[in-house]
A and B are shown apart, each in its own frame.
Chain A
Amino acid sequence: MSFRHTLAGRLMADPMAVVALIIITALVAIAVFADVISPHDHTAMNLADRFAPPSSTYWLGTDNLGRDTFSRLAQGSRIALYVALTAVTISGLIGLVLGMIAGFGPRWLDNLLLFIFDTLRAYPTIILALALAALMPRGLSTVIIVVVITSFAEYGRVVRTQTLSLKNAEFILAERAMGASFGRIVFHHVLPNVLGPFFILAAMNLPVVITIEAGMSFLGIGVPPGTPSWGATLKDGFDYIRNTPWIIIAGGLPLILVTLGFTFLGEALRDQLDPKLRKSR
């Protein structure tokens, strides 16, 4: 099979996917090489230069303590990626396992899990975050726990639906008739078919998680002050918006780009992985 017929090849032929991959690659590169590309120490205060506008010295200006905004955003990309990848991975795995259990399990178990999924999905994320923040120490772990609790149900729902539609499909029934084990059916036939929608959902959820982290930090229930998260930068920007608009503009920029990048990627993946959409093109 030639490269252009592989998933990667098809994605590279899609302009939306290319834009998405450029943005995401840039984000990952900035996160990985943050220490190298940051022109200043992100913790270094320089009160004489606070609220400086963008310049050749401070590419995105400085904050209220004279810290370089670009360097802080570069470091913040590590936090954003760390939270997003960790939270999406954990919630995805939990959702995957529970969704398949619901799909294959007895009716009562399916109903019970469905009840749990729907209850959790109905609970507003920020309200839950506020409640948990009062009980738990402030930090990235709390942010991740909040995201996992509020988002694994979505994966579980999608996986359950896929599993239910697959478990009585003709090819699965044929496998069973030929004496295939339960494990073979799950890992060789159901799981690969579930992963397509699962990854689309994960790609779509990554920016949501990043926004939740930023939102929690903005509300003061995310990372502790001084941590260079994007939400904390936005909060500083809001606090000092009368002194300079640059902090809030710079703080919002990566959030917009990352949301666009992952949303484009999710859309492109859906175009390529959803057989109905592929046929219609």
Chain B
Amino acid sequence: MTKTRPSAPFSNVTRRQLMAGAAALSVGAMIPVAAWADGSRLNVRAYLEPDDYDPLDASGFLEELLYGCIYRKLIQYVPGEEWDWQLDLAESIEQTSPTTIEFRLKEGQMWSDGYGEITAEDVKFSMDRHMVEENNSRIKPDLGSFTHVEVTGTYSGIIHLDRPFAPLWTIALPYLAGTVICKEAVEAAGGKITTAVPPAVSGPYRVVEHRLGERWVLERNPEFSGTPADFERVDLIVVVDDSAAEIAKDAGDVDFTSIGAGSVQRLRDNPPAGSRMTVHPALFYHWVGLNVQHPKFEDERVRQAIMHAIDVPSIMQAAFFDVAEPSTGIIAPGLIGHRPETLIPPQADFARARELLDEAGIDRLEINIDVLNNVTHTTAAQVMQAMMAQAGIDLNISVHESGSFWSLGVAADGDRWQDLELTIKRFSMTPDPYYATAWFVSDQIGDWNWEQFSSEEFDRLHDEALSETDPDLRDEMYRRMQDLMEESGGYRFLTHGVTANLFADSIAPATRPDGLPLVQFFRRA
């Protein structure tokens, strides 16, 4: 009997076959890279995750990033260096009186998934629902004095205001609140978009998949009625940390990202191959907020002492690497209402801070600050901690991930909003001062107004300014409002920052004048 030796796996594979196999594997491994390299796919970094597809829940630019890709508006911002708008769904739109705006839609603009044509009923549904109290729209303030849309025909309607609203053309229509959603689809879904993918879209892209905490996968919308998008697929990839985003850009995992201030000078000196960087003056506003209703800060002298103990230039140097300037308020240079200077100089005055604490009878003050877990704000907090110690103030820092942080001051999310002491925050902004002050009126306490600042004069001015059409008068009103904020001792304005974008030179990004991306207009270079 002969024994046959069991053959070892792959014993018949020759060296040549092995090499050929390896080569085939290598080619196979390059396929996704090749698909990417031909420009059919675009990866854009999102610094946080958008909430969902329903504009009722929108809170800021992250949602706009997503909505811009999948929905349309009557008008949209024009990409470039100047703030301007262009027609989108609207064939024409005109202010026919201080309180009425007539529009006519382009015909043949389609919803996806068989929901037919976009009509004036969709526009009415989309805007009116923000005014329904039970809907709890978080962006209702964007609409100002808007009351309702009157449908005058299949494609035409009239937007009604109860009084003139200056920011209509800069905020209400081209930003979040102007997003048009499909009435039929949303009503069929129960009046709110809570589905895994939106039931109907109209923009250049449609949602394929949402990987929670990771990315939104979009693909070209074949039913888009405008000029087809350049990219087959767009991934909005969530990368919270600026350093990680820059590494992802270097590794080729993202094609477009904003980068931290700390990288600007280095990338200017050594621009990476195959990439470009642009730096834009931002409209954001970063500030240190103090809860003026907290028992610890009842004495105004204590609040003022804290403000005097914050050295803004040091924060600019350490956290913003000297690429950003100290701000004078919440309204950026170039906009109506920008203040030339703050009431308290940006430089700290530790002696004055100490003096105010002594007057208040406080020897040593221990306070807490809550910050988001990004490098810029944690660094700013550490600078404050070191500086404030010189005035006898011990600052404890608590860092939170974004979900936890953004619920701290929200009454609906628990009782923590009442115990807040100091916070560092950054809000996004649009090119009208109304959008900045809207979050600090008394009605916003327990929602966005974490400082619990309440001033009748501020509320009145905010209300009057939105209808004021004289730019000089508006300018004066908004300056006064920022004075009131600062006088309260609840605000130490830091900076508007800069928006620095790093992107592959194979793409031609489109951005607003403040550098924020309008992905729907991105093209291949």
Residues of A at the B interface (CB closer than 8 Å) are 43-45, 47, 50, 64-65, 134, 137-138, 220, 224-226, 238-243
In addition to A224-B397, A241-B243, A242-B266, 13 A-B residue pairs with Cβ atoms within 8 Å of each other are A43-B386, A47-B314, A50-B318, A65-B382, A65-B383, A65-B386, A134-B404, A138-B399, A224-B398, A225-B381, A225-B382, A242-B263, A243-B266
Given contacts A238-B243, A241-B243, A242-B246, contact A138 B386 (CB under 8 A): no
Answer whether residue B293 sits at the interface, using C-beta atoms and an 8 A cutoff: no
Q: Are B399 and A65 in contact (CB under 8 A)?
A: no
Residues of A within 8 A of B317 (CB): 47
Residues on the A chain within 8 Å of B373, using CB: 220
**B382/A239 in contact, CB under 8 A:** no
Show 28 A/B contacts (Cβ-Cβ < 8 Å), sorted by A. Answer: A45-B314, A45-B318, A45-B383, A45-B386, A47-B317, A50-B318, A64-B262, A64-B379, A65-B318, A138-B398, A138-B399, A220-B373, A220-B401, A224-B396, A224-B399, A225-B381, A225-B397, A225-B399, A226-B381, A226-B397, A239-B243, A239-B375, A240-B243, A241-B243, A242-B243, A242-B246, A242-B266, A243-B262
In the complex formed, the residue of A with least CB distance to B381 is A225
Find residues 388-434 in chain B having any chain A CB closer than 8 Å to their own CB: 389, 396-399, 401, 404
Determine if B170 is an interface residue (Cβ-Cβ < 8 Å).
no
Q: Is B202 an interface residue (CB 8 A)?
A: no
Chain B residues whose C-beta falls within 8 Å of the C-beta of A50 in the assembled complex: 318
Chain A nearest CB, measured from B249 CB (Å): 11
**A221 to chain B: closest CB distance in Å?**
9
Bound Cα distance A64, B399 (Å) = 18
How far apart are the CA atoms of A243 and B267 in the complex, in Å?
Answer: 10
User: B376 → chain A, closest Cβ, in Å?
Assistant: 10
Q: How large is the interface on B (under 10, 10 to 19, 20 to 34, 35 or more residues)?
A: 20 to 34
In the complex, chain B residues whose CB is within 8 Å of the CB of A243: 262, 266
Cα distance A220–B385 in the bound complex, in angstroms = 18
Residues in chain B near residue A47, CB distance under 8 A: 314, 317-318
- Let me know if B378 is at the binding interface, CB within 8 A: yes
CA distance in complex: A174, B14 (Å): 70
| Alpha-carbon separation in the docked complex, A47 to B379 (Å) | 12
Chain B residues with CB under 8 Å of A240's CB are: 243, 262
Q: Which residue of A lies closest to B246 (CB)?
A: A242
Which residues, 241 to 265 on B, are CB-close (under 8 Å) to A?
A: 241, 243, 246, 262-263
> Which of A43, A44, A224, A241 has its CB near the most chain B CB atoms (within 10 A)?
A224
A137 CA to B317 CA in the complex, in Å?
A: 30
CB contacts (< 8 Å) of B399 on chain A: these are: 138, 220, 224-225
Q: Which of B266, B373, B378, B389 has the most CB of A within 10 A?
A: B378
User: Smallest distance from the beta carbon of B386 to chain A beta carbons, Å?
Assistant: 5
Query: Chain B residue with minimal CB distance to A66?
Result: B318
CB-based nearest B residue for A44:
B386
Decide if A64 touches B263 in the complex (CB within 8 Å). Answer: no
- Contact (Cβ within 8 A) B382 A226: yes
- Which residue on chain A has the smallest CB distance to residue B313? A47
A271 CA to B200 CA, complexed, in Å: 70
Bound form: Cα–Cα A226–B382 in Å: 6
Q: What is the CB-to-nearest-CB distance from B378 to chain A, in angstroms, rounded to a whole number?
A: 5
Residue in B closest to A137 when the chains form the complex, CB atoms: B398
Least CB distance, A111 to chain B, in whole angstroms: 39
1/0 per residue, CB under 8 A from A, across B297-322: the answer is 00000000000000000100110000
Closest CB in chain A relative to B355 CB, distance in Å: 24
Contact partners of B396 in chain A: CB under 8 A: 224
Complex CA distance for A65 and B266, rounded to whole angstroms: 17
Q: Which 3 A-B pairs have the closest CB atoms?
A: A225-B378, A226-B382, A239-B375
Give Cα A138 to B398, complex, Å.
7
Whole-angstrom CA separation of A43 from B385 in the bound complex: 10
The residues of B that contact A64 with a CB separation of less than 8 Å are 262, 318, 379
Closest chain-B Cβ to A79's Cβ sits at a distance in Å of 16
Q: Across the interface, name the chain A residue whose C-beta is closest to B373.
A: A220
Q: Which chain A positions have C-beta within 8 A of B375? A: 239
Closest chain B CB from A68 CB (angstroms): 13
CA distance A65 to B314 in the complex (A): 10
Neighbouring A residues of B397 by C-beta, 8 Å: 224-226
- Across the two chains, which residue of chain A brings its CB closest to B250? A242
Q: Report the minimum CB–CB distance from B326 to chain A (whole Å).
A: 15
Shortest C-beta distance, B404 to chain A (Å), equals 7
In the bound complex, residues from chain B placing their C-beta under 8 Å from that of A238 are: 243
Of A220, A226, A241, most buried by chain B (CB within 10 Å of CB) is A226
Residues of the A chain whose Cβ atoms lie less than 8 Å from the Cβ of B385: 226
Q: Tell me which residues across on chain B come within 8 A of A43, comparing CB atoms.
A: 386, 389
Q: Nearest residue in A to B260 (C-beta to C-beta)?
A: A239
Shortest B416–chain A CB gap in Å is: 12
Interface string of B251-295 (1 = CB under 8 A from A): 000000000001100100000000000000000000000000000
Q: Measured between C-beta atoms, what is the minimum distance from B372 to chain A in Å?
A: 10
Most chain B CB neighbours (cut-off 10 Å) among A47, A137, A138, A242? A242
A21 CB to nearest B CB, Å: 37
Task: Tell me the minimal C-beta distance from B307 to chain A in angstroms.
Answer: 20
Give the residues in chain B near A137, CB-CB below 8 Å.
398
Expressed in whole angstroms, the Cα–Cα distance for A44 and B314 within the complex equals 13
Task: Please give the distance in Å from B270's CB to the nearest CB on chain A.
Answer: 10
Return chain A residues, CB-CB under 8 Å to B243: 238-242
| Chain B residue nearest to A130 in the complex (CB) | B401
Q: Which residues of A contact B314 (CB under 8 A)?
A: 45, 47
B337 to chain A: closest CB distance in Å? 32
Considering the chains assembled together, what is the distance between the CA atoms of A217 and B490 in angstroms? Answer: 31
- Determine the chain B residues whose CB is within 8 A of the CB of A220 once the complex forms: 373, 399, 401
- A65 — which chain B residues lie within 8 A by C-beta? 318, 379, 382-383, 386
